[in-house]
Amino acid sequence: MNKILIVDDSPDIRLLLGKTLKAAGYGVSEAHDGDEALPAALSYEPDMILLDVAMERVDGFKALAILKADPRTKEIPVLMITAKGHPSDLETARSLGALDYINKPWAHGEVELRIQWAITSVQRQRERDEQNNVDRLVS
């Protein structure tokens, strides 16, 4: 079972995402804000992080930068979630290492599809990287 960490300061969004993802067969853990993102990721060891952009204290971009700067969490794929959806936010998220960006409100089934796509994409990339390493050792 793939594990998803939800980082959002809205209890309603955490509840909605948690129910949706559990029903889809994912393990779910939550962090209430950007300050909790790194400690939660280290203790839960998720396969994917859903990270809200607009949070008080530490926003999603700062939390993403912290996660990507830490060697223990930098490889965990992150999907950003936002109600704003400005193109500059998408550019910022990707430049900081986010895999994708989901706008609120999302369509029915969109979150599950994007998570599955992201997990599959990351797994395929890791398999290609491993094969390339083997090929280099053999040649």
Q: What pLDDT tens digit does each residue of the chain (139 aa) get?
A: 899 999 999 999 999 999 999 999 999 999 999 999 999 999 999 999 999 999 988 999 999 999 999 999 999 999 999 887 777 888 899 999 999 889 888 888 889 999 999 888 888 888 887 887 777 778 7
pTM for the whole structure: 0.88
Predicted pLDDT of residue 30: 98
Both tokens of residue 27?
Answer: 């393990």
CATH for 3-138? 3.40.50.2300
- Asked if residue 24 lies in contact with residue 50, where contact means CB atoms within 8 angstroms, the answer is no
CA 60, chain centre distance (Å)? 11
What residues does each domain of the chain span? Answer: 3-138
∠ CA 20-26-32 to the nearest 5 degrees? 70
Locus of tokens 């599959």: 120
